[in-house]
Structure 1
Amino acid sequence: MKTSIVTIGDELLLGQILDTNSQWIAKELHQLGVELVESVSVSDSKQAIVNSLDHALSQSDLVIITGGLGPTKDDITKHTLTSYFKDELELDVVVMNRIKAIFDKRNIPFSELNKNQAMLPKKAITLPNLLGTPSGMWFEKEGKIVISLPGVPYEMKGLMLGEVLPRLRKIGGFLYQEYQTYVLYGLGESSAADMLDDFEDILPDFIKLAYLPQPGRLTLRLTGKHQEKVFLQQTIATLGEKLLSVFKDYSIVKGTEDTVALVKKMLIAKQKTLAVAESCTGGAIASYITLESGVSSFFLGGVVAYHANLKRELLGVSDKIIEKHTVVSAEVAKAMARGIQQKTGANYAIATTGNAGPSTDNTDETLGVVYVSIAAENQVFVERFDFGQPREKVIEQAKNKALEMMLKEILKNQ
């Protein structure tokens, strides 16, 4: 069953809110085995909704719409769909009494606007909304299905889980879908594709490989569709092992966890600790690490030693090193890593120093150059990067590269 998702709302197109509905619906449909061919957002206008329906129904068997079911005049989805399917509205007394009960419980007057939400198309199947006032609607015409749901995320999810997905399961006939992801560090998309050339040649026609580049890492996803679930799972697993073997000399992990989650998992398992000393990244690494819950079990803390005096006083970087190599140098980065490691007693340490811009320190290095150092228990090493500009890009990429280097070091010692 080919499916399109249409989210309605000017607020989506203006960027005032993020469309999380289509993402959540897509994941649920994928688990069911429904093939999603398109996801679009359109404005709160009759013509935009009609155009999107015409297009969606030209290529899909199922269209799921969210938004525009509220009680105000700008909520036109119900009226547009009623007209589109040449239907008419009638009062659903059961729905009206349910809405009245909600308002009575909250001591809110029941108005004519609220009564209008109980006016529903005769030909549609009403999907009762237990979490709000607008009902969902299920239309069928010429073997195709159009489902209209509220735009409020928790109401939409309640209707999907309680009404839509159970009804779709009864219809059945979906191909089983399976996917497995692998996160590769330290190798770009084109280089990885070159290494996977022979691997892609052996993929059966029901398996696809997708490349999903992200800052500091490349996600590879194997996706398959087949009528036999066990066979599909076995095929994905076998191909996954072959994919891992292609990158046996690189840092690659199975799953979708981000770098911080992987670092956390591995350091906790090893009962090891981490500390950071940041200059040009200004605390971005420590801030990113502490977004993950439970990090206090391995993360001891960090220091933002922006000025040279703090590098000397807090981290023990010697005047001799700074005078000889300047603050933006491999030597200072290594000294910072060792300094925070010794100060905190951490097993591992990360340090950064560089020229994030738009101006430079008293150094020979150009804008965008960053040194990232990792102190392990028996060694300290450093890498030089040129991230260019602007400043925000330099800080973001330095943060990602530092965590990537940390992960590589941990994986190397497994």
Structure 2
Amino acid sequence: MKAEIITIGDEILLGQIVDTNSAWIAQELFAQQIQIQQITSITDTEDHILSALAEAGSRADIIICTGGLGPTKDDVTKFTAAKFFHTDLVFNQDVMDHVQQIFQRFNRTMPDINKGQAEVLANCEVLFNDWGTAPGMWVEHDQKVYIFLPGVPFEMKNLMTFRALPKLKDFQTEEKVVNKYILTVGIGESHLAEHIAEIENSFPDHVHLAYLPKIGLVRLRLTLTGKDIDTLEVEAEEWKNKLVERIGPAVVATEDVSFEEVIVRSFSDHKLTLATAESCTGGNISRLITEIPGSSKMFQGAVVSYANEVKEGVLGVSIETLKAHGAVSEETVIQMVNGVKQLLNVDYAIATSGIAGPDGGTPEKPVGTVWVAVAGKNEVKTKLFHFHHDRLINIERTTAQAFLMLWNLYQAELQN
């Protein structure tokens, strides 16, 4: 069973919003063994919508469209879909009552323009939207299923969860897919590929390996396809174990999780605490940590010590150190990491200080110069990095290296 997603809206193509809807839909469909064949983003124009619907129908069994169901003139999805299906829009009193109730609930007068939201495709089953005014629509046409959903993420998610996904459970697919994940850190993609080439070359045709690199890490996705899900699970586990054994210590997880989640879980399991003192990363490290549910068990807090006065007054960096060596120096990050460790009474700490750019560099310390320090129970480790001129990438690289340094120190202390 193949599915295709069509996102409709100029705001996606202009880069004004990021299409998070498609990623979420793809994950939910895969849980029901429905694979995404293609994702297409198009403008709110009749010819693009007609073309996208026709092309998707030629490739997929289930076509999901998001966006363009609002009451304004630029939302033309319903009218264009009526042309595509050679049908009409009809007035639905139940939808009208629902829209009126939403406005009454907030003690607001309903504009006449919202009456148009009660018009739905004559050949559809209405997917009532308890979370907004635009109803979803389910159409079965030429042995294909077309699902039309609003583009507002929380409305789309609720309609998919409570209206569309339960109906899609009736659609079975013969081909099953099993994915296994391996998260590696501290080894580059090409070196990793060389290291496991012998195993990868021995894969049968129904086994595939994808490399998903990110700064500081590589995620491997092992995919097996076949008709018996239980057999695939057993075989996938065997191949995954072979890869893990070959890769060795660079493996930090064998599930689809982030490196930050691995750190949070491991620290929580060992009842260890962490804090950060961030200058050039501006709180990015603590943001990633606190996005993980359960991080409160291990993360005590952060000091974003952007100004030298904060480094000195809060973290205890000496004025002599700042004058002699500057804020971007090994001496400074050592005092920062020790300062925040003592201030917040934690087992481990991270400190960063650097010149993120695009300006502020000197011949001695050009843009991209970064010092990172990590403190553990017994020692402090530091490292100097020379990145480039892109500010956001420098922040991302510093963050990735800080996590890797923390993990390496933590692992070394666990073994001692």
TM-score (norm 1): 0.86
**Whole-Å separation in 2 of the counterparts to 1:333 and 1:109:** 59
Q: Which residue of 2 aligns with 1:27?
A: 27
What's the counterpart of residue 276 of structure 1? Answer: 276
Partner of 2:389: 389
Deviations 1:306-340 (A, max 9, x none): 539956994466958974x7664445544543454
Asked if 1:182 corresponds to 2:178, the answer is no
Return 40-49 or 375-384, whichever deviates more.
375-384
Structure 1 pair 92–299 and aligned structure 2 pair: CA distance change class (3 A) = closer
- 2-structure distance, mates of 1:109, 1:209: 56
Across the aligned residues of Structure 1 and Structure 2, the Cα RMSD in angstroms comes to 3.2
CA 235–365 in structure 1, closer or farther in 2 if over 3 Å, else same:
same
Where does 1:53-92 land on structure 2 (aligned, <5 Å)? 53-92=53-92
Post-superposition offset of 1:104: 5.2
**Equivalent-residue separation in structure 2 for 1:105 and 1:305 (angstroms):** 47
Distance change in 2, residues 1:226/1:152 (3 Å): same
Query: How many Å apart are 1:65 and its aligned residue?
Result: 0.8
What are the equivalent positions in structure 2 for 1:258-337 lying under 5 Å apart? 258-292=258-292, 294-303=294-303, 304=305, 306-307=307-308, 310=311, 314-315=315-316, 319=320, 323=324, 328-330=328-330, 332-337=332-337
2-structure distance, mates of 1:86, 1:222: 43
Secondary structure, in 3 states, of the residue corresponding to 1:126? Answer: strand
Q: Give 1:238's aligned residue.
A: 238
Q: 1:271 to 1:98 in 2, by over 3 A?
A: closer
Aligned-pair CA distance for 1:81: 1.0
Determine the C-alpha separation between the residues in 2 that align with 1:75 and 1:294: 41
Q: Residues 12-51 of structure 1 correspond to what in structure 2 (within 5 A)?
A: 12-51=12-51
Moved more, 59-68 or 327-336: 327-336
- Note the C-alpha offset of 1:279: 4.4
SS in 1 for 2:205: coil
- C-alpha separation in 2, matches of 1:314 and 1:286: 17
| Further displaced range: 89-98 or 79-88 | 89-98
CA contact (8 A) 1:68 1:75 kept: yes
SS in 2 for 1:265: helix
Distance 1:107 1:379 in 2: 62
How many equivalent residue pairs? 412
Question: By how many angstroms is 1:115 displaced?
Answer: 4.1
Please tell me whether the aligned partners of residues 311 and 336 of structure 2 are also in contact (alpha carbons under 8 angstroms): no
Q: Distance in 2 between matches of 1:239 and 1:223?
A: 10
Q: Separation in 2 of the partners of 1:313 and 1:144?
A: 63
Deviates more, 1:106-115 or 1:272-281: 106-115
Contact 1:67–1:152 (Cα < 8 Å) also in 2 = yes
Indicate if the aligned counterparts of 2:189 and 2:211 stay in contact, CA closer than 8 A: yes
Name the structure 2 match of 1:212.
212
Q: 1:31: how far off?
A: 0.9
Question: Could you say which residue in structure 2 is the equivalent of 1:374?
Answer: 374
Label 1:167 to 1:388 Cα distance change in 2 as closer, same or farther (>3 A).
same
1:406 is aligned to 406
Contact 1:21–1:153 under 8 Å retained in 2: yes
CA contact (8 A) 2:6 2:52 kept: yes
Question: Which one-letter code corresponds to 1:203 in the other structure?
Answer: F
**Corresponding residue for residue 247 of structure 1:** 247
CA contact (8 A) 1:34 1:175 kept: no
Deviation at 1:374, TM superposition (A): 2.1
Alignment check: 8 A CA contact 1:350 1:372 kept: yes
Q: How many angstroms apart in 2 are the aligned matches of 1:168 and 1:368?
A: 50
Residues 63-119 of structure 1, C-alpha deviations (whole Å, 9 max, x = no match): 111122223322211111111111123333444444455555555556654443333
Q: State the match for 2:203 in structure 1.
A: 203
Q: How far apart in 2 are the matches of 1:333 and 1:103?
A: 56
Q: Which amino acid aligns with 1:12?
A: I
Amino acid at match of 1:39: I
Identical counterparts, % of pairs: 35
The answer on whether the counterparts of 1:312 and 1:318 sit within 8 Å (CA) in structure 2 is no
Paired residues of 2:34 and 2:173 also in contact (CA < 8 A): no
CA contact (8 A) 1:278 1:302 kept: yes
Distance between the aligned counterparts of 1:284 and 1:112, measured in 2?
46
- In 2, the alpha carbon distance for the partners of 1:197 and 1:94 equals 60
Q: Tell me the distance in 2 between the aligned counterparts of 1:260 and 1:193.
A: 24
Opposite residue 308 of structure 2, the aligned amino acid is H
CA contact (8 A) 1:305 1:314 kept: no
Paired with 1:313 and 1:215, the residues of 2 have a C-alpha distance of 31
Residue range with higher mean Cα deviation, 109-118 or 351-360: 109-118
Task: Say which SS state the counterpart of residue 86 (structure 2) adopts.
Answer: coil
In the TM superposition, residue 393 of structure 1 has moved relative to its aligned partner by 2.6
CA distance in 2, matches of 1:190, 1:179: 22
* Structure 2 unmatched runs, 5+: none
Whole-Å separation in 1 of the counterparts to 2:197 and 2:333:
39
Distance 2:322 2:104 in 1: 74
Distance in 2 of aligned mates of 1:77 and 1:397: 42
Distance 1:309 1:72 in 2: 51
Matched residue of 2:73: which SS? coil
- CA, structure 1 residues 90+197, in 2 after alignment: closer, same or farther (shift >3 Å)? same
Q: 2: distance between equivalents of 1:138 and 1:87?
A: 14
Structure 2: distance between partners of 1:72 and 1:341: 55
Residues 204, 327 of structure 1: alpha-carbon distance in 2 compared, 3 angstrom cutoff: same
Shift in alpha-carbon separation, 1:47–1:271, aligned structure 2, 3 A: same
2:122 is aligned with what amino acid? K
> Where does residue 151 of structure 2 map in the other structure?
151
Residue segments in structure 1 that go unaligned for 5+ positions in a row:
none
CA distance in 1, matches of 2:251, 2:56: 42
Q: Flag the 1:100–1:293 CA change in 2: closer, same or farther, 3 A.
A: closer
Query: Distance in 1 between the 2:67 and 2:296 partners?
Result: 41
1:52 corresponds to: 52
Secondary structure at the counterpart of residue 12 of structure 2: helix
